[in-house]
Amino acid sequence: MSLENMGYFKALHTRMSWLNQRQRVLAENVAHANTPGFRSKDLEEPNFQDILKKSVAPVAMTTTSGGHLQGGISAGKVAFNVQDSGAEADKSGNSVVLEAEMMKVSQTTADHELMSNLYRKGIDLMRVAISRPARG
């Protein structure tokens, strides 16, 4: 089983994908800070608690006979929606506020670092679990 198919890592991967795409959208906003008529955008944050519930199966089922039913949960791909940030436009019609965009960039960077640390801790826990001899 690959890490991408494990619920914990799948949820982390989805969150990191969202953060990466948000960083791209925010960078585009900053790049167009002086473009007349440009409307700032942001990514709608999905409900990651629901995504986690859909991606984590409480018990993995295994078929031991050809007559058994196969079960499982498939989370599928998550689409992230770009939306207008709702900021007021200036005289030129541009709605980018650099200070607000930089705060969002900073928060997104911190969240990405947190997700990376959680991913690393998950890998460390897997290593500990694999390295311990089975009791019995």
Residues 68 and 6: their CA atoms lie apart, in Å, by 23
Average pLDDT, the chain: 82
Tens digit of each residue's pLDDT (9 = 90 or more) over 4-25: 778 788 888 889 999 999 999 9
Residues 5 and 60: their CA atoms lie apart, in Å, by 12
Q: For the chain, how many helices (H) and strands (E)?
A: 3, 2
How do strand 82-84 and strand 41-43 relate by DSSP bridges?
A: antiparallel
Residues 6+ positions from 19 with CB-CB distance below 8 Å: 108, 111, 112, 115
* pTM beyond 0.85: no
pLDDT > 90? residue 32: yes
Tens digit of each residue's pLDDT (9 = 90 or more) over 111-124: 999 999 999 999 99
Q: What is the pLDDT of residue 69?
A: 56
Residue matched to tokens 């911190």:
110
Structure tokens at 92: 């030129």
Percentage above 90 pLDDT, the chain: 43
pLDDT > 70? residue 98: yes
